[in-house]
Chain A
């Protein structure tokens, strides 16, 4: 006999995953869009990057989303705290990516509440890979999401970061990583300017510099807009957790980076 209990009480145990719960309950809309998505124009996020410093990792993203050759949003947010000790940044189809981040945030908190303990940093990174892979059918339609994940690893006591590809491949990066349209430009800049013994402030300066440098050649990447007061999102993650820098704190680094352009 099947009891007519409230839904969430009577389902076959979906473990501690919120994503699996959504699936069990049939909330994950199957997006069978067939062909023709290449002609779909949706806002796309551009360059985000992360780099390590002594004692943690910083994550930086520009604020622009483009739709073809047009600016779709000037002040979009692409770097988000995932939980107390990690952050996720996105590139690709903005609508799908922002939804993925929202699910990822709920997933981490859900696990923490159900299990009474936090996932390890590596556990979080692995789960994010699964979310990216679940978008693979959409990627074949031209709608892709490629995140960047970074956090403070409480087990090893240092900052770590991971890059992904569209099929859900997860790659741990030693020092820095970037994804999005201006990623290769940002990485060249980071490769030339990165040092192992960076303080958080130096890492922010170099990271913002890399973003500005990428914006010079990649038209989709938005550099700091000093006139409108639009600055990159900067998150600093260390043993105290995730801290977002205010516009006033980012401004000096942004001004310096813009001044250094030749």
Chain B
């Protein structure tokens, strides 16, 4: 009879984390910036067909980096949960925290039980009073952010740049400008294409709108 070789849990977690981080670092980043009327989501994305930012519910949006098929599963699960809650109860009963918690549980369970962790980081934004920004990492850790948030390979330096440039009461153009500049500094090169969307409280029931950037 053979016994499986014992591996210390610290080592398992460390190796899985390294693996996931490497996967995420290869991908491009996404930033979320609060402005006067809502939240701007800005991604560096050369593809016009494959989207990283998506509407989840009336006031909630999703953004994901890393492996496309993996964050796509999360995105769909988020939309399902939100639509289900809204249908069974009321549209007012759907909030970003419930969606973020679900992602956190799912990613946490996958990280500890599956041989391969998900190589993704996701961001959930909600426009309201106050706005909410949640960041969920590959191991299910849930962060509650204010004003700006960033995910992806260059997340830390990007968030740092954004925090320095952020001011109260930005309009959407100003938020876009500081977002683009933060990307340029973080990546040390010009962008190969943008994907941008807003959750804007002046948009009516469905606050989500994609922005067409002429660049």
Binding site for B on A (CB under 8 A): 3-6, 8-9, 18, 21-22, 25, 27, 102-103, 106, 109-110, 113-114, 116
Contact = CB atoms under 8 A, between A and B. Distances in A.
Contacts of A25: 84
A8 B84 CA distance: 10
A6 B83 contact: no
Contacts of A106: 83, 86-87
B45 interface: no
Contacts of B74: 9
Chain B at the A interface: SS class = helix
A4 B109 contact: yes
B105 A21 contact: no
B172 interface: no
Contact of B113 (A3, A18, A22, A116): A3
B102 A109 contact: no
A-B interface, 5 closest residue pairs, ranked by CB to CB distance from nearest: A8-B80, A9-B77, A8-B77, A9-B106, A6-B102
Given A5-B106, A18-B87, A113 B77 contact: no
Contact of A102 (B76, B77, B87, B109): B87
Chain A at the B interface: SS class = helix
A5 B84 contact: no
**Residue of B73, B81, B84, B109 most packed against chain A (CB within 10 A):** B84
B126 to A, nearest CB: 15
Contacts of B54: 113, 116
Nearest to B74: A9
B128 to A, nearest CB: 19
> How big is chain B's contact interface, by range?
20 to 34
Given A103-B87, A116-B54, 15 more contacts: A6-B77, A6-B102, A8-B77, A9-B102, A18-B80, A18-B83, A21-B83, A25-B84, A102-B87, A106-B86, A110-B79, A113-B54, A113-B56, A114-B76, A114-B79
Nearest to B101: A6
Nearest to B55: A113
**Residue of A5, A9, A18, A114 most packed against chain B (CB within 10 A):** A9
Contact of A9 (B55, B56, B73, B86): B73
Contacts of A103: 87
A158 to B, nearest CB: 26
B67 interface: no
B89 to A, nearest CB: 12
B7 to A, nearest CB: 19
Contacts of B88: 27
A66 to B, nearest CB: 28
Contact of B102 (A8, A18, A110): A8
A21 B84 contact: yes
24 contacts: A3-B113, A4-B109, A5-B105, A5-B106, A6-B77, A8-B80, A8-B81, A8-B84, A9-B73, A9-B74, A9-B77, A9-B102, A9-B106, A18-B83, A18-B87, A21-B83, A21-B84, A25-B84, A27-B84, A106-B83, A106-B87, A113-B56, A113-B83, A116-B51
Contacts of A27: 84, 88
B110 interface: yes
Contacts of B73: 9
Contacts of B113: 3
Contacts of B87: 18, 22, 102-103, 106
A103 B84 CA distance: 11
Nearest to A24: B80
B110 A109 contact: no
A9 B84 CA distance: 13
Contacts of A21: 80, 83-84
Interface in B47-70: 51, 54-56
**Residue of A5, A25, A110, A113 most packed against chain B (CB within 10 A):** A113
Nearest to A105: B87
B208 to A, nearest CB: 9
A102 B88 CA distance: 11
Contact of A3 (B55, B79, B109): B109
A125 B102 CA distance: 34
Interface in B98-127: 102, 105-106, 109-110, 113-114
